[in-house]
């Protein structure tokens, strides 16, 4: 009995110590988290300060580096904001942020990234890094078990980076993007960027055959919020589906599954990526 009690006390103390180490570096300006924070700040202000009935284009790295809000705005004679973010923040969190800042009457264009359609319940490393710096409040909204799983999954290397950042010491980071690239409309200047949109793709990455339950929940939540807030949501497929993985049967299955599901929840999806891969002679 004393042995079991000792194990329980030891476990509680270990969890408390680990939690203390994490809390001690909360808000640490690590290289990647500061880049994400700057990005969100610029883009949130751009959306909220735009004229009424604006267009907000939401997506991953292909939107961030591959689209120009200025050019689209000039073509459509409407205000357009580029709300592209790094895809490793995850679709669920990105749509959570979108729901906080897009206003009634705006049009939201969601650019779908094939590789993110299998997103699960785990927290990607980049999102974990950012949450520990700038959005601890989001962690507090989770179920206790989810929050504990998140805290237990924080690697010691991230804690070390956090404490080094707090001390102003150089960080051991291979983050490929530099700061100071952001325009007021959310666009990114091409000069100074150390990684192109093409380089951000993972060669040969697998494409899921169906949407994951996590992605379905994120899309359904967005659709319900849009209906309640007079926001029109359109979905389009990402640019450049030309990797070999996209020629597999799984890709066609994913496109069909997405079309069925978005129709069911009331989101219009546009474009035919299969036709791009297999154009008529």
Q: Evaluate if residue 66 carries a pLDDT over 70.
A: yes
Q: What are phi and psi of 230, to 5 degrees?
A: 55, 45
What is the bridge-based pairing of β-strands 107-112 and 55-59?
parallel
Per the CB < 8 A criterion, the answer to whether 204 and 251 are in contact is no
Is the pLDDT confidence value at 222 over 60? Answer: yes
For residue 242, pLDDT over 70 is answered with no
Q: What is the dihedral of CA 235, 236, 242, 245, to 10 degrees?
A: 20
Higher pLDDT, 158 or 177: 158
d(CA 230, CA 234): 13
Counted residue by residue, the chain has a size of 281
Query: 243 falls in which pLDDT band (50, 70, 90)?
Result: low
In this predicted structure, the answer to whether residue 102 has a pLDDT above a threshold of 80 is yes
- The answer to whether residues 263 and 219 touch, using CB atoms and an 8 Å cutoff, is no
In this prediction, residue 20 has a pLDDT band, given cuts at 50, 70 and 90, of confident
| Average pLDDT value over all residues in the chain | 81
pLDDT tens profile 3-13: 767 777 766 67
pTM of the model: 0.84
Confidence of residue 221 (pLDDT cuts 50, 70, 90): very high
**pLDDT value for 203:** 44
Q: How far is CA 96 from CA 27, 30, 86, 102, 149, in A?
A: 20, 23, 15, 11, 20
pLDDT of residue 177: 66
Q: What is the pLDDT of residue 19?
A: 76
Least confident of 34-38, 100-104, 191-195: 191-195
Kindly state the average pLDDT of the residues 97-120. Answer: 90
Percent of the chain with pLDDT strictly greater than 70: 77
Residue 176 pLDDT: 66
Instruction: For 176-209, write each residue's pLDDT tens digit.
Output: 665 555 555 556 554 333 344 344 444 445 667 8
Q: What is the pLDDT of residue 216?
A: 95
Residue percentage of the chain with pLDDT more than 90: 39
More confident residue, 145 or 208: 145
Query: Rounded to the nearest 5°, which phi and psi values hold at 279?
Result: -65, 150
**pLDDT at 16 (0 to 100):** 75
Amino acid 190: pLDDT = 43
């Amino acid at each position: 009995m004393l042995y079991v009690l000792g194990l329980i006390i030891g476990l509680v103390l270990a969890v408390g110590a680990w939690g203390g180490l994490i809390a001690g570096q909360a808000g640490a300006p690590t290289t990647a988290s500061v880049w994400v924070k700057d990005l969100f700040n610029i883009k949130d202000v751009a959306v909220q300060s735009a004229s009424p009935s604006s267009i907000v284009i939401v997506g991953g790295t292909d939107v961030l580096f591959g689209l120009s809000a200025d050019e689209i705005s000039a073509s459509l004679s409407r205000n357009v904001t580029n709300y592209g973010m790094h895809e490793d923040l995850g679709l669920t969190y990105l749509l959570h942020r979108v729901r906080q800042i897009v206003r009634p009457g705006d049009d939201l264009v969601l650019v779908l990234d094939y590789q993110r359609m299998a997103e699960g319940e785990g927290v990607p490393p980049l999102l974990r890094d950012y949450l520990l710096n700038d959005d601890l409040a989001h962690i507090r909204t989770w179920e206790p078990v989810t929050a504990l799983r998140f805290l237990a999954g924080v690697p010691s290397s991230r804690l070390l980076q956090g404490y080094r950042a707090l001390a102003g010491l150089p960080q051991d980071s291979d983050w490929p993007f530099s700061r100071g690239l952001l325009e007021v409309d959310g666009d990114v200047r091409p000069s100074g960027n150390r990684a192109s949109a093409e380089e951000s793709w993972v060669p040969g990455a697998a494409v899921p055959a169906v949407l994951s339950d996590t992605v379905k929940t994120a899309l359904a939540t967005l659709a319900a919020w849009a209906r309640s807030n007079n926001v029109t949501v359109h979905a389009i497929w990402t640019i450049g589906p030309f990797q070999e993985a996209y020629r597999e049967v799984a890709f066609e299955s994913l496109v069909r599954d997405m079309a069925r599901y978005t129709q069911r929840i009331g989101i219009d999806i546009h474009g035919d990526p299969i036709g791009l891969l297999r154009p008529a002679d």
